[in-house]
Amino acid sequence: MDVTIKEGTLGLLYENGVLVRTLNPGRHRFFTGFWLPRREVVRVDLRERSLTIKNQEILTSDKVAVRLSLLLYFKVVDPRAALLNVEHYEERIYEDVQLAARRFLTSRTLDQILRDRSELSDAIREDVRASAQSYGVEVRRADVKDLVFPGNLREIMNRVIETERESEAKLIEARKLAEVSRLEAEAHAVAVERRMTADEKAAQLLAANPLLVRIKELEVLREIGLRGGNHFHIGMDPLGRRKEPG
């Protein structure tokens, strides 16, 4: 008897109904005869596979009925356990994931489910990990394929989504206008400042600081005094006449 095991699979050799060993990929030859044990080879696929879990109708914690379809990715990591510990490991993983999804969704509101679908995949993987390992299967990922709501709820959600998009667009436009106004104001201020002469700036500075005016006057008097030949009359008439006390 010749048996060929392909890459990506593993063979389990039974003799008289007893599992005796595994067969790696390649060709295997066994002698046959009425005095030899009855042999049977069962092939197990070790590649990652997908399984669709369809139309699970579940009631969320806020009493909204949703219909869910999941796409499950799994892989057999222990062929012996997959064949010996359960009758049909594919049916078992289907049931385990189905129940895990139901436990998760019934503990969440609809809003929580919509906000983070990736949380569902992580929750299912953690929920079924120990159980799946007991029959040699590893759950790689469980993605939401379809999430269907009642008709009236879909219409409401579509309106809410459209309103949110319009509000976001208006907010972006308002921010752009505010930025343009700010830039225009800054450009105007720079232009006004450039048009001001040095004298105008000095006049503004003196008008705002009366003490600087007095300092400026003293500086002028000092410069005149340094030149010489100047007479200052303090408390006298410009024509030289003494002012009589009144």
**What gap in Å lies between CA 128 and CA 138, rounded to an integer?**
9
What single DSSP character describes residue 240? S
Please give the pLDDT value at position 153.
Answer: 59
CATH number of 49-149: 3.30.479.30
Per residue in 210-231, pLDDT (tens digit) is 666 666 666 666 666 666 565 5
Lowest mean pLDDT segment, chosen from 7-11, 52-56, 120-124, 227-231: 227-231
**What gap in Å lies between CA 30 and CA 27, rounded to an integer?**
10
Per residue in 142-197, pLDDT (tens digit) is 888 877 776 655 565 656 566 777 777 788 888 878 877 877 787 777 766 665 56
The ranges assigned to domains in the chain are: 2-45, 49-149, 151-195, 198-227
Inform me whether the pLDDT recorded for 75 exceeds 80.
yes
**What gap in Å lies between CA 155 and CA 157, rounded to an integer?**
5
Residue 25 Cα distances to 3, 15, 46, 69, angstroms: 10, 19, 11, 35
